[in-house]
Amino acid sequence: MPNPMTGNLWQDGWYCHATRLDSPNFGPRPPTAHIDLIVLHSISLPPGRYGGNEVQQLFMNQLNWQADPYFQTIEGLTVSSHFYVRRDGALWQFVSCNDRAWHAGASAYRGRANCNDDSIGIELEGLEGEPFDEAQYATLGTLCDALMQQHPIAHLAGHEHIAPGRKSDPGPGFDWQKFQYQLGLSAQYLPVACRSKGT
């Protein structure tokens, strides 16, 4: 692992400040992929329950489908995200940023379809519509800053913005303006619906 004191935060697409857990659910990006989008999601398994290892188990194809009635409704699902931020700010990484994680599904944004091809997916432990914790914003801000130093990120969006009508996360509980100011970015990076008036 790279030494954080050297400033080398990345090794083969893996972030040195994340706990690494290699998901089998990934594939190669297209050769022409231009990684310029970060997609934010929210997840909790079962919905509204925090602190367990079910999300990690889902991304590793190890979730016990019989452990909760809700799990039976998603049985067989094979998904992944590049990153997962717990309520306490703990950070996990499941797929190298050099590879294509399976987080977006059918999607389109900034005139391009198939957002998995050229985006980085970040899951926040949470429930659609509910607020997120300060520790999560802190970790998310540091992570996104590191990603923007590594890739030509020009767009930040939620799953709800790249798959409208199909997905609604992270939802109104996520404070986009706070996130924007935290990163010191122009409002142009955000979805139009999330920009402050006058920007």
- Which of 139, 149, 140 has the alpha carbon at shortest distance from 10? 149
105-162 confidence digits (pLDDT tens): 999 999 999 999 999 999 999 999 899 999 999 999 999 999 999 999 999 999 999 9
* The Cα angle at residue 149 between residues 154 and 25, in degrees rounded to 5: 75
54 catalytically annotated: no
Of 3, 10, 1, which is closest to residue 120 (Cα–Cα)? 10
Q: Of 123, 125, 128, 160, which residue is the catalytic one?
A: 123
**What topology does CATH give the domain 33-191?**
Lysozyme-like (3.40.80)
pLDDT digit string, tens, across residues 28-87 = 999 999 999 999 999 999 999 999 999 999 999 999 999 999 999 999 999 999 999 999
Cβ within 8 Å of residue 83, ≥6 positions away: 15, 18, 91, 92, 93, 94, 120, 121, 122, 123, 143
Rounded to an integer, what distance in angstroms lies between the CA atom of residue 143 and that of residue 139?
Answer: 6
Full-model pTM: 0.95
Query: Domain ranges in the chain?
Result: 33-191
